[in-house]
Structures are given as C-alpha cells and as structure tokens.
Chains A and B, each alone.
Chain A
Amino acid sequence: MDLAFSAEDEAFRTEVGEFFRTELPADLARREAQGFHLNRSDLAEWQRILYRKGWVAPNWPKEFGGTGWSPIQKYIYELEFGLANAPEVNLIGLSMVGPVLCRFGSPELQQRFLQPIMSGDIWFCQGFSEPQAGSDLASLRTRAVKRGNDYVISGQKIWTTSAHFSDYMICLCRTNDAVSPQAGLSMILVPMDAPGVTVKPIETIDGDHTVNEVFLDDVVVPAANLVGDPDSGWNQAKFLLGNERTHNAMIGMLRRYMVRIPRLIATELQHGLSAAAAAEFERQLACLRIDVDALEWSVLRVLAGEEGPELAAAASALKVCGSEYLVRASELELDILGPQITPRHDPSPTSPATSLPAGASSFAPGRTTQHLYWHASTIFGGSNEIQRGIIWNTLRRR
C-alpha cells in the first residue's frame, strides 16, 4: 500500500490547475458555476481549447487521441476540472461513444467519427431508455430490421439528453427476437437529421431544457453504422456505462459545492444571517465534507481495483453516495441563501451587478434549479434501487 499521491501526480495536479486558470474563459466558468445547462454553441470554443491541448478525450486509448494518463491522473484531471468550474463538453460522445468505437468499432467508423467527436464537429446523444424500458433496459422495443445494406429503425426513445443539438444518436435497438432480451440488441449510430427522426422537448421542473423524446419512424441507416457485431449491443452498452463508473461519484461537482458553500455563508452574514446560523451551517458542511472525503477515497480505491463483481458493487456504492450527496449539498445552499432562492432567477449572462429579484446575491441564480435537477441524479445512470440490487447480487454470491 502507498497512500500518497506521487510527486509526479502532484506536479500533474499543478499543471492541470494552471491550465484551467489560464485557458478556461471566465464568463463560461461563471455560467457553468451557476448551474444552468449550457448548450453546444456555448461550449464550442472551450472544446476547441481542450482539443488543441490534446486533453479533450482522457478516456480514450492513446493511439486514438487519448492522453495516456494513468487512472489516478485521469481522476486528478476530473477533480480539477470540476473545481475550476469547467463545463463538460459532449460527455456522451467523448466519454461513452468514443471508447466504444475505439474498442468495438470498425476501422471505417473509427475513421469517420473519432476525430470529429474530439474536435466538436460531431455531437452525440445516447438513445437507450424508452417509455417502457427504463430500469429494465433490456426490455427495449425499438426495432432495427436489416434491409439490403441498411437498417430500418422504428420505435421511441425518451429522456435523451442533448438530442436537440446532437448530430448522432448512439441507439440501442432490438435486432433479434429469437434469443434472450439481452442477447438480441445492437448498437447503431443514427444521424439525427435522417428522415423519420423527430425530436420533442420534455419540459422539466428545473425549467431548463435538457431531455427529449426521440421518435424513430422507419429511419433508414446504412448497415455500416452498426457498432461491432450484430446482437452484441448489450455487452457494448455495459462497457459504455462502465466508463461512467467513477464519474458517477460526481466528485468534481461535489468539491465545487464544498468551495462555494463557505462563500455563501460569508455573504449572507452581511444580510441578516445570524452567527449562530452560520455556525450551524458550517457544522452541516463539515458533515458533508467528511462524507465527500470518504467518497473521494472510495473513488481512488475503485480506480485501483481489479475488474470483477466486487468492483461493480463498489462502483454502485459510488453512484448512490454521489447522487445523494449532491441533493444534500445543493439543499444546504438553499438553506443558507434562504428566501432569495425562491424566485425563478434568469441565467444572468451579463454583469452580476444588476439587481436581482428578492434582492438576491449573485450566488442565488441557478441554485434552486440545480438542486431540483439533482433530484434526477438518484434516477438516471441506473437508479439507486438498481445500484443496491447490484450490490446485493455481489454480496449473495460471495
């Protein structure tokens, strides 16, 4: 056992921190910190900066444009990324589709997609969930039928994040009914501008637009867009979701809260918050910090762990903790800010000096909407009940 970061890791941390300090556009960081969702055009410049630096795809093998970082370095990068209020760019394309294509895609698909995903010329969304197939993903019904050199796809996806500004959807489809539900699925890259694709926004309680319904009506897609072998979609999907594994702990985001919360307390002390209240909030923050510290070390242990059921259980624990802590951290912010979190604040792209409803401080916009959004984090990425089920399945087989 060696429980210290190496000197190289520390140097790496400094280098990464310095890069974000000098290269991340300040206004973008400010908007990201507020927590309103940014769209593709907001993020294009930032993606180009990361791309030029060669840091846009840390999860890819080096020969395909990845960074060649160790798991610990990737983790340090992710943490500093969060702390710097850097926004993620095309998470689906870069963290999920890219690794899948590197591993399973034909050379032709790799040639067509990998470089544009890195540069930001192609954005992906993830079309897995369906109205009748949420937690029970394997029961999905969207069907892809081979016709000559094409697949013809029909069905409906739901909750598709970013579908409204994506170029492609990585679509999980049923291609075989004769086998078990898991064994009959395939992964196909569907151009969002193909005839028969319709995207409808879903209004959510945070007032933001992130998720959509995607209707597929006899959409014709070249068979070359199939990823890997026919009927191997389930394993590829598991591989894809595995890439999310430590990311689900949301450490960077949680650390962002840990940094901001003391600043909120200091500001509110000037607006009627009592010293006793401040002390109580500091105590609650301490409890949360301790939980996040433990979570951070759990992430490091998972990163160092060996593939297998034990690791799957530990990763599921990360997801449960990460999502629950996000709800708690964002709720603590609401308690500190008090009445000023009740207005429906606009994202404020301009000067923070303009007066806000309820006399709110410039910290207030985004706090409530982001809190409401985090309520979804116990649901997406495999709900917390599903994660507990995975843990149980490991324990009972021990």
Chain B
Amino acid sequence: MDFWLTQEQQMLRDSARRFLAEGKASGNGDRWSEMAELGWLAMAIADEDDGLGSEFEDIVLLAEEIGRALAPESLTLGSVVPARIIGASSSGPQRETLLAAIASGELRFATAFDERNNRYDWQRPDTTANATSTGWKLSGSKTLVAGGAVADRLVVSARLGEAPETLALFVIDTTLPGITRREYQTIDGASVADLDFDRVALNASTLLLKGAAAAECLAQSFDEAVVLLSAEALGWMDRAIELTVEYIKVREQFGRPLAEFQALQHSVAEMYIDAESAHSIVCMAMAALHQPAGDRRRAVSACKVKAMAAARRSIGMAVHLHGGMGITCEYPIGHYLQRVTVASRCLGDEHFHLERYVGR
C-alpha cells in the first residue's frame, strides 16, 4: 500500500487548486470550457476513446479541490457519469461523437435519475419508455437535475413499458418537443431543474443500455458519484479547519485571541478528528470500487454515511466558532454549511446508505 501522491498527482492537485481559486470564466456563465481545456472533462473517458483514461484516484483528487473551492460546476454529474454510461454503450458513430462532445465541452450533459417518488433509488424509475415504430415514447418526470437548465443532452433512466422490470438508459436532446424544464436554485446556490417528459418521441438510437447492463452501469456510476461527493466533503472540511484556525487566531474577545480558550482549541481538534476519519473512509471506498458489487456497495455506503456525518458536525462547529460571522453570506464558512446540508441529501441520505450497508 502507498498513500503518497505521485508527482503528477501533486501537480494535478496544485494546478486544480490554483485554477479553482483564481480561474475566471472566459465566456458568460461558468468555467466549463476552461475545464475542458485542462482535460478534466476527458478524465473519465478511456484512452481508446480518445479520453485521458485517468485513474479514479486522480478524479477523486480533483473532487476534493472542487469541494474545497465550493466550485459550482458539477464535474461528476456533468461529465464523469455521462462519460461512464455512454462509454459503456455499444460502439458506433454516435458513441464516438458524444464522448468527443463531453471531452471538448462542446455539448453540456446532465444526468436525470432522481424522481419525486424513488427516494434516491436510481434503479426504480417511474418514467417509462414505450416502444413505437420508430423508437420510443418517453413519459415521466425527473427532479433536481444538476445543470439541467443549460444541458444540451440528458442521460435519462426509464423503465421499458412492455417489460416493467427492464431498466433502460437513454441519451436525449433537451430541445425535443414534449420536454419542459423548470429551473431553480438549491440552498447551496447550484442551478438545477425539474424536467417533464410528455410523450417525447425518441428515435431508436437514443437507447444506450438496457436490462442488466443498464442496471450494473448505473449502479457503478452511482457508487463512483457517491465517492466523488464524499471526496468533495474532504475538501470542505480541510478548508473549514483552515478558515476556523485563521479566524480564532485573529478574533479577540476578553482581551485575548479566541484561540487561547482551550474549549475552542479542543473543538477545532474534534474537527480535525472528523476530517481524518472521513479521509480514511474515502480511501477504503476507493479501494472497494474494484471489488464485487456487494462489497463495493457496502464500502461506498459506509463512505457516504461517515463522510457526511463528519462534515455536518465539523462544519457546524466551524460556523459556531465564527460567532455571528459564521451565518453571514459575506464570510465563506457559512457557504460550506449550506453545501453540506444539501449534499447530505443528495445521492442517498444517511438512512438510504445505512439500509444498503446492512444489506436491505
């Protein structure tokens, strides 16, 4: 075993940190095309598909930096997951074109798997696709689609009408007739959308995967996304510790820096303990991603539970230690609290993952 970062990994981390702290969007909106230029959007695409074929560990490093900077761009759901699912579909000109479009950032992708009634379970969509003479007719609704308002293409889950148990994954053009989008913001300021599909006519080629292949690919993608979100939490916690240490060293009450009060020193020490244990569980989950599905699921769920609980506790403490400043928008620390409050209920909440962990 070796926990050290390679030189390349250190460079990736440092350059990501610099870019995310300073990098400005060239056009209007976010920094997606800059991220494409940095190669970040190609990391989850295999070498043989002209991607970078990066190690998952590298993507995790990037996620940590995204978390630390609270970057608004959803790299995981906007590039990693679509790349994995499209990459798993059968080869052909469409597949090559789509992967190239992800990597270049030329088209924006979003993933539409959450529904009002499936409570994080991506395997059980109510959205249906019924066969027609030319392809499929898609009906249903998806919620909380990250980046859904600006997406050009959606990777959507549905069950096939004639065989209710069959899960299917499609890639669709968001401008098709019958699609309505409703954009809104989440508490942490991200842009998301609800989408309604009213008998949207899809041609046959939009079907990427179905049946067991779709289920397995979606499960694997979900697990990767969970680990990446947990890695973001490591970034939040590291930054929260830095901010809090800086703050209480400078802030004076009762004629001395707050940092001289031992109660507060110990509170920060607890934050560190949380961050450390979260870091370890993310390592455990990364190691388990290559193991059989059952082991993988358990480790990934353990990771989400532990990382989010640690992040909620330590960031809550960080806010508290900032006093009134902690709840202002002007100070950065409160934004981490908004983020962890939302992220704890994304990609499965504590209860969902505990149930998976015990094997139900």
Contacts and interface: CB of A to CB of B under 8 A. Distances in A.
B324 A159 contact: yes
B89 interface: no
B324 A129 contact: yes
B125 to A, nearest CB: 12
A331 B350 CA distance: 12
Q: How large is the interface on A (under 10, 10 to 19, 20 to 34, 35 or more residues)?
A: 35 or more
B328 A383 contact: no
Interface in B76-114: 114
Contact of A204 (B182, B264, B327, B346): B327
Given A276-B360, A343-B184, A375-B320, A135 B254 contact: yes
Contacts of A335: 345, 349-351
B143 A359 contact: yes
B259 to A, nearest CB: 13
Given A274-B355, A372-B337, A158 B253 contact: no
Nearest to A380: B324
Contact of A368 (B143, B329, B334, B341): B341
B291 interface: no
Contacts of B324: 129, 134, 158-159, 211, 376, 379-380
Residue in A205, A273, A359 whose Cβ sees the most chain B Cβ within 10 Å: A205
Contact of A358 (B116, B120, B312, B327): B116
B334 A205 contact: yes
B337 A205 contact: yes
Nearest to A270: B117
Contact of B345 (A204, A271, A274, A342): A342
Contact of A372 (B117, B327, B344, B346): B327
A344 interface: yes
Given A343-B187, A358-B144, A205 B327 contact: yes
Given A134-B253, A277-B355, A342-B346, A205 B117 contact: no
A338 B345 contact: yes
Interface in B143-157: 143-144
Given A203-B330, A343-B187, A379-B320, A271 B143 contact: no
B323 A342 contact: no
B141 interface: yes
B275 to A, nearest CB: 19
B327 A339 contact: no
Contacts of A271: 116-117, 119
A385 interface: yes
Interface in B303-355: 312, 316, 319-320, 323-324, 326-330, 334-335, 337-338, 341-342, 344-346, 349-352, 355
Residue in B194, B324, B342 whose Cβ sees the most chain A Cβ within 10 Å: B324
A385 B335 CA distance: 23
Nearest to A278: B351
B118 interface: yes
A375 B116 contact: no
Given A274-B355, A378-B320, A372 B341 contact: yes
B280 interface: no
A140 to B, nearest CB: 12
B345 A339 contact: yes
Contacts of A340: 116
A272 interface: yes
Contacts of B338: 205, 372
Residue in B188, B323, B329, B337 whose Cβ sees the most chain A Cβ within 10 Å: B323
A274 B350 CA distance: 13
B185 interface: yes
B186 A344 contact: yes
A249 interface: no
Given A342-B187, A375-B320, A385 B328 contact: no
Contacts of B143: 339, 357-359
B253 A136 contact: yes
B144 to A, nearest CB: 5
Q: How large is the interface on B (under 10, 10 to 19, 20 to 34, 35 or more residues)?
A: 35 or more
B261 interface: yes
Contacts of B355: 274, 276-277
A371 interface: yes
A136 B316 contact: no
Residue in B182, B252, B345 whose Cβ sees the most chain A Cβ within 10 Å: B345
B1 to A, nearest CB: 35
A49 interface: no
A378 B327 CA distance: 11
Interface in A324-369: 327, 331, 334-335, 338-344, 357-359, 368-369
B326 A379 contact: yes
Contacts of B115: 359
A388 interface: yes
Contacts of A274: 119, 355
B263 A343 contact: no
A23 interface: no
Residue in A341, A342, A379, A388 whose Cβ sees the most chain B Cβ within 10 Å: A342
B72 to A, nearest CB: 14
Contact of A359 (B185, B194, B349, B350): B194
B192 interface: yes
Contact of B335 (A129, A205, A276, A368): A205
Contacts of A339: 114, 119-120, 143-144, 345-346
Nearest to A159: B324
A272 B126 CA distance: 11
B323 A383 contact: yes
Contacts of A369: 187
16 contacts: A204-B327, A271-B116, A276-B360, A335-B345, A339-B120, A342-B144, A342-B342, A343-B144, A343-B192, A344-B184, A359-B116, A371-B341, A372-B341, A375-B316, A378-B320, A379-B323
Interface of A: 129, 132, 134-136, 139, 158-159, 202-207, 211, 271-274, 276-277, 280-281, 327, 331, 334-335, 338-344, 357-359, 368-369, 371-373, 375-376, 378-380, 383-385, 388
Given A342-B345, A385-B261, 19 more contacts: A129-B324, A136-B253, A139-B255, A203-B329, A204-B334, A272-B117, A274-B119, A277-B352, A335-B350, A338-B349, A339-B114, A344-B184, A359-B116, A359-B141, A368-B341, A371-B341, A375-B316, A375-B326, A379-B324
- Nearest first, the 8 closest Cβ-Cβ pairs linking A and B are A359-B116, A272-B119, A205-B334, A203-B329, A136-B253, A272-B117, A358-B143, A357-B184
